[in-house]
Amino acid sequence: MKRVHLLLTALSITILLLSFNRLTSFTLSYLQPYDFLRWLDFNAMIPIPLLSIILYYLLLREVTYESKFKKTKLYSFLFLLFITGVYLFGASSGDHEVTNYLNTRFCERGTIDSPLCNIISYNDDEFSHIVYYLGFVFMNVVLLLMEYNTPRKKGMLKKDYIFVTANAIFIGLGIFANLAFEEIGIDLYVFGFLMALSLYLLYAKKIVSKFPLTYYFAVSYTVGVLGTGMYKLIGSLS
């Protein structure tokens, strides 16, 4: 569990890095030559997603470490699905960050009606999001199903629950911060699906202590989705 705690904490740090990258003015300067990107876009396109993918892979290895399940056809299929998710996740980051920069700087967030700006705006606000969440779902579903088929031999202790819950709530608050103050889109449905899947898998096994990642996902997505739903409901009633 020590390695699991370390990896989950590192995932929490990526949320901090994303927030710092998006919400501060330190990353708004341009890269040379030609001001081709802002540091904001570069960070969100390469180092932060790369760190996230590495952590997901290390979690995958941690879940399936020396398991006989690795010799099955289902494992091979799930691993190929994970690689597909990694590719889609990376491709979407490249598409989104470049077009987001161009859309913000030259098309004023889609308000300028021109064939070029329409293409840029569609890639920024629609297509890249679809590809991103498809890759995100693949990677998350693979981790959940891998752990479902390879439960830990030793269950979590009380201190493990505390650490995993703390990291999960932190991620959940990050999801809430990104969803609650924007219009409801595909992102809420994606997180809602992952929340439902993780809760179902925990219910199906009924031994929560042997499934720390599934518990982590269940808590984080529940906090993010239900928190966003309650915030939207209260806002609509006020």
Tell me the angle at which helices 158-179 and 186-205 cross, rounded to the nearest 10 degrees.
160
State the pTM of this model: 0.92
Query: Has residue 81 got a pLDDT over 90?
Result: yes
Question: Do 107 and 117 form a contact (C-beta atoms < 8 A)?
Answer: yes
Q: Which of 60-69, 118-127, 172-181, 209-218 has the lowest mean pLDDT?
A: 172-181
Task: Give the per-residue pLDDT at 181.
Answer: 74
Taking the C-alpha atoms of residue 120 and residue 116, their distance in angstroms, rounded to an integer, is: 6
Question: Do 45 and 94 form a contact (C-beta atoms < 8 A)?
Answer: yes
Confidence of residue 24 (pLDDT cuts 50, 70, 90): confident
| More reliable by pLDDT, 235 or 229 | 229
Task: Give the per-residue pLDDT at 49.
Answer: 94
Task: Give the per-residue pLDDT at 233.
Answer: 83
Interval 152-205: pLDDT, tens: 888 899 999 999 999 999 999 888 887 877 777 788 899 999 999 999 999 998
**Backbone torsions φ then ψ of 4, nearest 5 degrees:** -60, -45
Task: Give the per-residue pLDDT at 197.
Answer: 96
Taking the C-alpha atoms of residue 107 and residue 117, their distance in angstroms, rounded to an integer, is: 6
Query: Has residue 137 got a pLDDT over 90?
Result: yes
At position 109, the amino acid (one-letter code) is R
